[in-house]
Amino acid sequence: MTSQDTALDLAQPSQVKWRQYVVTAGRIVLAILLVAAWKIGADRAGPIYVADPFLVANRIVTDTMSGELVHHVYVTLRLSVIGFAIGCFFGVVLPFLLRRLPRLTDAIEPYIMASVGIPKYALIPLFILWFGIDDAPKLWLVGLLVFYPIFIAVFAGIRNVDRRLINMARVMGASEAMISREVIWNSLQSFFFAALKIALPRAISATIIGEFLVGNAGLGFFIEYSRQNFDTTGVFAGIVIATALVLVINSVLVRIDRRLNAWRPTDRDMEL
């Protein structure tokens, strides 16, 4: 060990902690201001257009106690998770298969990129026509909406992998499967997690939109049912719950990302 070879000092100065408190306090103040603005808006616009935030909170509590909201959340989450899993699976596996077939990739790439442009929500009527009014049309919608961002990110991630690392692994005797799993998969983690941050909230909103049109349960059904009954408080309660769901999922995701990718030199992700 020579003197100039000391490892970098990674200790955090205490200033950082103090700054963290200021940020947290700022966020709380902002939250209070937002609720206040909402309350003022509700009083001005009237209960048919904007629901009173305290009535919404009240509604959330009572409907949660009665188990009704819990059931809707469960239905929405279940569908989102299954649809997400399907879309994510193909979004990850296809680029890895295409990597081995560069000519095929070149041939179909413009078609894939063109299909990105199709507005997926516009396909719902067709999905209902083709797949009935059960879970299937909603799963197709969620799956497709999740598939694209993940496919594109993983595809770009694979192209972005440092060739030198792949060559190094090859010289050391790594098989193509090992290179895919170890070098490529790990290299594209930041791409993958960036895509997840888009895809997971998308899975929830796609499910909700699907439920507007098809089905008799789920948050989308709850919101649409409330709207049809001029129950604006119910609509707002549904939106608040959907938002909370997305926020919880995102913060879990950020935590997983941080745990798995602790090796990354800098981590500047937003945390909630």
Query: Per the structure block, which two tokens stand in for 174?
Result: 């790594």
Minimum CB separation of residue 176 from other proteins in Å reads 11
Query: Per the structure block, which two tokens stand in for 77?
Result: 């989450």
Is residue 18 involved in binding other proteins (CB under 8 A)? no
Residues 155-214 that bind other proteins (CB under 8 A): 162, 164-165, 167-175, 178, 182-183, 186, 189
Q: Which is nearer to other proteins, 77 or 165 (CB)?
A: 165
Is residue 12 involved in binding other proteins (CB under 8 A)? no
Is residue 103 involved in binding other proteins (CB under 8 A)? no
Is residue 269 involved in binding other proteins (CB under 8 A)? no
Is residue 259 involved in binding other proteins (CB under 8 A)? no
Is residue 11 involved in binding other proteins (CB under 8 A)? no
Burial 124-153 (b: 16+ CB within 10 A, else e): beebbeebeeebebbbbbbbbbbbbbbbbb
Other C-beta atoms closer than 10 Å to the C-beta of 122 total: 8
Q: Which is nearer to other proteins, 3 or 216 (CB)?
A: 3
Interface pick for other proteins out of 18, 21, 111, 263 (rule CB under 8 A): 263
Minimum CB separation of residue 196 from other proteins in Å reads 17
Q: Which residue, chain included where needed, has tokens 């049912």? A: 225
| Conformational region of residue 2, where left means phi above 0, alpha means psi within -120 to 50, and beta covers everything else | beta
Is residue 4 involved in binding other proteins (CB under 8 A)? yes
* Angle ∠(259,262,264) on CA atoms, nearest 5: 140
Q: What stretches of the chain show up as alpha helix (H) in DSSP?
A: 14-45, 53-65, 68-99, 102-116, 124-131, 135-160, 163-171, 176-178, 185-187, 189-213, 219-228, 232-260
Q: Which is nearer to other proteins, 187 or 205 (CB)?
A: 187
Q: Which residue, chain included where needed, has tokens 């983690």? A: 189
Using the rule CB under 8 A, give the single segment among 2-10, 116-124, 142-150, 191-199 that binds other proteins: 2-10
Q: Which is nearer to other proteins, 134 or 162 (CB)?
A: 162
Q: Which is nearer to other proteins, 77 or 269 (CB)?
A: 269
How far separated are the first and last CA of the chain, in Å rounded?
A: 42
Q: Which is nearer to other proteins, 10 or 270 (CB)?
A: 10
Q: Which is nearer to other proteins, 105 or 189 (CB)?
A: 189
* Separation of alpha carbons 170 and 175, rounded Å: 7
Minimum CB separation of residue 133 from other proteins in Å reads 46
CB contact set of 242 (below 8 Å; sequence gap of 6+): 76, 204, 205, 208, 219, 223
Minimum CB separation of residue 8 from other proteins in Å reads 6
Q: Which residue, chain included where needed, has tokens 């950082």? A: 16
Which residues would be at the binding site for other proteins (CB under 8 A)?
1-2, 4-8, 10, 162, 164-165, 167-175, 178, 182-183, 186, 189, 261, 263-265
